[in-house]
Amino acid sequence: MELLKSKILTEGIIKGDDILKVDAFLNHQLDYELLNEMGKSFYETFKDQNITKILTIEASGIAIAIIAAQYFKVPTVFAKKMESKNLDGDTYNTEVFSFTKAKNYTVKVSKKFIHKDDRVLILDDFLAMGRAALGLIDICNQAEASVVGVGIAIEKTFQEGAGLLMEKGIPLKSLARISRFENGKPVFED
Amino acid sequence: MELLKSKILTEGIIKGDDILKVDAFLNHQLDYELLNEMGKSFYETFKDQNITKILTIEASGIAIAIIAAQYFKVPTVFAKKMESKNLDGDTYNTEVFSFTKAKNYTVKVSKKFIHKDDRVLILDDFLAMGRAALGLIDICNQAEASVVGVGIAIEKTFQEGAGLLMEKGIPLKSLARISRFENGKPVFED
């Protein structure tokens, strides 16, 4: 998606070898016009799939998911990280390893909000090692819901996430695919 | 707002004496139609205030804020809780006590995203003791930005948050105001 790539090039910040910060428009400050274009693009890809629910993970996935939900006209569910006093005991749980934070965390979704007959589209900001996406897929599997696809804003194609989804036969749509960083700039793959 | 009150009555769950769970439409599963009506309502109240930025706090505020941002046509910033490897050291910080979780946490906003000339609308899901709203106001004060108002989905009028905002002279718009719980049901105040 050209608008997203252009934002990454002009407002993204590279830290170290392979950390791309998109705090200016996706992860801290949010650009509603960009998010709308992203939502439309996910809708174009998955509109014929009879999606019944969008599933994402707090916090950075929420804005992407709820804006996309306006096009799909379905409820969004965001998975919660860690324990929360206000979340039911009656949840699907999975463990996810965060490479960014170098630790495991528990991801939970209330059993009330994902059902056997749901056709779920998983949306998230980044796909790198794929652990968050796999965790959300695991939760859908526990609920016996169908995962119709995964939509990602920014994929790092040099990491293993996309391959892990392909192994599972789950369609993936990434709006910007970064194959490497060169001279402090991301190089996109088409 | 009638739609929100009706959702609270039909899908909200009361836990203990005064905890209202709205996981079915606002805090875990998200109802995009409700959020749109809420966004419109905040816009009706604050549209003449030359808002330049919407500020909220992760995670539950994000969906409310980004949907409202579509009406105001301004960027949204969500404050982050705790430390994050991907967040600049160059942040405004404040300490917030969570009565729900019975602990303090640090709230951060990058200095890049709130400026002296910003006219900020703070949006959040709940106003009870008011600590999150006061934390966000403190961050705006540090940035010398103007807080034009606070918009809240659900206010518990029997707790001190609204009074604390009034003391500071900050306009408050709450879409549903709960004055007490009676026989396991919320009682609304107009």
- Most A CBs within 10 Å, among B18, B19, B28, to test the A interface: B28
Which chain B residues in 33-52 lie under 8 Å from chain A, judged by CB atoms? 35-36
Least confident interval from A9-18, A152-161, B111-120, B170-179: A9-18
How confident is the model at residue B17, as a pLDDT?
A: 81
State the amino acid at position A2 in one-letter form. E
How confident is the model at residue B103, as a pLDDT?
A: 86
How confident is the model at residue B85, as a pLDDT?
A: 45
- Chain B neighbors of A77, CB-CB under 8 A: 28-30
CB A24 to CB B87 under 8 A?
A: no
pTM check: above 0.90: yes
Interatomic CA distance for residues B8 and B22, integer angstroms: 7
CB B63 to CB A58 under 8 A?
A: no
Angle, helix B60-72 to helix A32-46, in steps of 10 degrees: 100
Grouping H, G, I as helix, E, B as strand and the rest as coil, residue A99 is coil
Interatomic CA distance for residues A63 and B58, integer angstroms: 11
Per-residue pLDDT of chain A (190 residues; tens, 9 = 90+): 999 999 999 999 998 888 899 999 999 999 999 999 999 999 999 999 999 999 999 999 999 999 999 999 999 999 999 754 445 569 999 999 888 778 888 999 999 999 999 999 999 999 999 999 999 999 999 999 999 999 999 999 999 999 999 999 999 999 999 999 998 899 999 7
Interatomic CA distance for residues B131 and B177, integer angstroms: 17
Grouping H, G, I as helix, E, B as strand and the rest as coil, residue B75 is coil
Interatomic CA distance for residues A81 and A178, integer angstroms: 27
Nearest by CB: A28 against B67, B69, B110 = B110
Closest by CA to A177, choosing from A190, A161, A163, A164, is A190
**Tokens 């070898």, residue located:** A17
Grouping H, G, I as helix, E, B as strand and the rest as coil, residue A189 is coil
Grouping H, G, I as helix, E, B as strand and the rest as coil, residue B159 is coil
CB A32 to CB B78 under 8 A?
A: no
Interatomic CA distance for residues B128 and B176, integer angstroms: 12
- Chain A neighbors of B108, CB-CB under 8 A: none
Q: Does B87 touch chain A (CB under 8 A)?
A: yes
CB A66 to CB B32 under 8 A?
A: yes
The model's pLDDT over B90-110, given as tens digits with 9 standing for 90+, comes to 999 999 988 877 888 899 999
Nearest by CB: A100 against B36, B63, B86 = B86
Give A123's strand partners.
A151
Q: Does A78 touch chain B (CB under 8 A)?
A: yes
How confident is the model at residue B16, as a pLDDT?
A: 84
Give B182's strand partners.
B185
Nearest by CB: A32 against B31, B66, B85 = B66
Interatomic CA distance for residues A183 and B106, integer angstroms: 35
Whether residue B86 has pLDDT greater than 80? no
Mean pLDDT of the region B29-56: 98
Nearest Cα of chain A lies from the Cα of B165 at a distance, in angstroms, of: 25
Q: Does A101 touch chain B (CB under 8 A)?
A: yes
Mean pLDDT of the region B107-128: 97
Q: What angle do CA B156, B62, B79 make, to 5 degrees?
A: 90
Least confident interval from B6-20, B53-67, B81-95, B99-113: B81-95
Model ipTM value: 0.95
Question: Counting every residue, how long is chain A?
Answer: 190
Name the helix (H) or strand (E) containing A122: strand A119-127
Query: A143-171: string of b/e by CB count within 10 Å (b at 16+)?
Result: bebbbbbbbbbbbbbebebbebbeeeebe
